[in-house]
Structure 1
Amino acid sequence: MTTWITTCEGCKRNDWAERSATVTDGATLASAIETQAAQAGIKTRRVSCTMGCERACNVIIQGQTDLGETKISYSLGSFTGTPEDAQAITEFAALHAASPTGQVPFRTWPIGVKGHFVSRHLPLPTIET
């Protein structure tokens, strides 16, 4: 089973300009996730925008079963880009990878992802014609 963490590297938190940051918050989070995810066997990719700008530092967790069927996917946001955020996101992605459907019971969610879920995306239905 393959699970991916897609990170919006263009994300900037509201105080980005005031902090005189030279790297976007999303790029900082992406780097931290890539380090954590490599150790966990989770694939990563960066995109320039996930259209969640009001909740900077957005990620999407997606996956497939060994048979190529899609799993439930999750959008998360409002992170600050810390290594702790990356660890919690990667831990959740590992739980997603271990789940046959992608559904992860709430009681097993890492503390660091609670309150960051934006939406859950159900797999497309299998249509027999």
Structure 2
Amino acid sequence: MTTWITVCDTCKHDDWNAETQPQTDGELLAEAVEKAAIGAEGIKTRRVSCLMGCSHSCNIAIQAPGKLAYTLGKFDSSEESAMGIVEYASKHAASETGQVPFREWPKAIKGHFITRHPPVPDNE
């Protein structure tokens, strides 16, 4: 089963300036996450325009069918952030429920969790 890392590519930090920064902060984070995810088994990435978490930019979602889903934010576009996101997503993929014990969280994602959503029921 695939765990998806969805990156908001329209996120901008408060100090973002269109005149001096040709790419949004979200685009830079997406590039870093895509690079970090190369070869990661069971992980796919995608970009979306707006996760509606502007006060927490830069935002990502980690999701898989039948598992808990998470929204994380307040990231920079560093390699360290990207590697932590992919490492957490790999642990999410390996978990039957999507829950990863706190002691296994990469340092780079601690303090970045915004929401957790239960899986959508597979029956009415």
TM-score normalised by L of structure 1 = 0.90
For residue 87 of structure 2, the aligned residue among 84, 91, 109 is 91
Aligned to 1:8: 8
Residues 64-122 of structure 1 deviation map (CA, whole Å, 9 limit, x = unaligned): 3xxxxx20000000001111110000000000000011000011000000000000010
TM-score normalised by L of structure 2 = 0.94
Aligned to 1:67: none
Cα distance in 2 between the residues matched to 1:122 and 1:85: 25
Which deviates more from structure 2 when the two are superposed, residues 3-12 or residues 18-27? Answer: 18-27
SS of 2:116's equivalent in the other structure is strand
What is the RMSD computed on CA atoms of the aligned residues? 1.5
Gaps of 5+ in 2: none
SS of 2:7's equivalent in the other structure is strand
- The count of aligned residue pairs is 123
Cα distance in 1 between the residues matched to 2:115 and 2:19: 29
Which deviates more from structure 2 when the two are superposed, residues 55-64 or residues 15-24? Answer: 15-24
Cα distance in 2 between the residues matched to 1:121 and 1:50: 14
| Identical positions, percent | 54
Answer yes or no: is 1:50 the counterpart of 2:51.
yes
Aligned to 1:122: 118
